[in-house]
Amino acid sequence: MAINKLALIRYKTIDDCLRNRFRKWTLDDLIEKVAETLYELEGITSGVSKRTIQADIQLMRSDKLGYNAPIVVKDKRFYAYEDPGFSITKAPINHADVDKMKEIVGVLKQFNAFNYFDEMSDMIARLENNLYKSTKQTGNNIQLESNKLVKGLECIPSLYQAVLNKRSLLIEYKSFKAQQAQQSIYYPYLLKEYRNRWFLICKAKKRAGILNLALDRIIEFQELPNENFVAYEGVDFDRYYDDLIGVTKSEKDRPQKVILEFTNDHAPYVITKPLHTSQVVLNKNAGTTTIRIDVVLNYELEREILGFGECVKVRSPRLLIAKIKRRLEQTYKQYEAIGEQEAERLKIINS
């Protein structure tokens, strides 16, 4: 069944509405929202008819497109998903779609022979592998790093649209340290991934400075069409994170010269997979290899260094040396305490 662009926009808009549990949706509300979206995206001023939206809802409920959307009417007036976690974006694609996408992948692979498309190699490999898996023609030929237990990934498409279209957001967020979730207005600027965890880079309306909100801590969010979007002046987000590992950084932070000394049996792993794009080898002798990276000092950098254990030693700067030393001392005390407890236990048993 062929679907035109406008129909897809309508389905996606209805889906976005029904996923938003902050408000209840009547048929008139859905018609109004779809009309607004068609005007914003396509410049269509004629609106959309009641009959068209009713037909769209029926089609989404059916299996003709593979959606089987559990759309119900509550209190004989309000439309909603019976399953709050449902979305048509999670529906599997049909065989006709798979065949068409395979053709597209074939075309992309031809373009990939040109240097301009080198950065697409990983994306094309992922797409091709997933297409073959979906038709069960072969097993999984490529195993890429992923974590299916990570929460918040379903938020990415809607948050991306908010970033792209510069839309203010009402976000209900609960950090790991907070006792309860809080609702605030945010202005989103960037989506950033670090080690399979995604973050929304934004600014709170009532708080200065740039924040990063972990998507897995976002409870709910919705766009606020009547809240003016506030751009963040003086920051080029294309380059803002170039000088750090991870996502933790303030505007006042500046990169520092970090000198790390690795044992030679581990150095090849760091040389072939650099810690940062600024990495250079300073020295190599019989036992160790010394590298330099120019990065902001943050929590993620400390975790990266601690992950190498006894294979690395921080040579500079002094502040970083002190932090790593203190954390290693705290780690040692934990194991020392375990040793003391075990000695006491054995003493009791032997007495």
Digit-coded pLDDT (tens) for 57-74: 999 998 887 788 999 999
| Topology of the domain covering 5-90 | Arc Repressor Mutant, subunit A (1.10.10)
What is the band of 150 on the pLDDT scale with cuts at 50, 70, 90?
A: confident
pTM, two decimal places: 0.61
Q: Where in the chain is the domain with CATH 2.30.30?
A: 153-223
Cα-atom radius of gyration of the chain, to the nearest Å? Answer: 26
Mean per-residue pLDDT, 19-23: 85
Q: Which residue is associated with the tokens 């290899």? A: 289
Q: Which residues pair with 280 in a beta bridge?
A: 292
Digit-coded pLDDT (tens) for 230-255: 999 888 988 999 999 999 998 889 99
Query: What token pair was written down for 233?
Result: 């002046």
Digit-coded pLDDT (tens) for 263-286: 999 999 999 999 999 999 999 999
Do 50 and 79 meet the contact criterion of CB atoms below 8 Å apart? Answer: no
Q: Where in the chain is the domain with CATH 1.10.10.10?
A: 5-90
pLDDT at 110 over 60: no
d(C-alpha 202, C-alpha 82), whole Å: 32
137 φ, ψ to 5°?
A: -75, -35
**Assigned CATH for 153-223:** 2.30.30
What is the secondary structure of 128-175 as a DSSP string? Answer: HHHHHHHTTSS--S------TT-S-GGGHHHHHHHHHTT--EEEEE--
Do 262 and 270 meet the contact criterion of CB atoms below 8 Å apart? Answer: yes
Residues 6+ apart with CB under 8 A from 115: none
- For 315-340, b/e burial (b = at least 16 CB within 10 A) is beeeebeebbeeeeeeeeeeeeeeee
Short-list 66, 59, 71, 131, CA closest to 102? 131
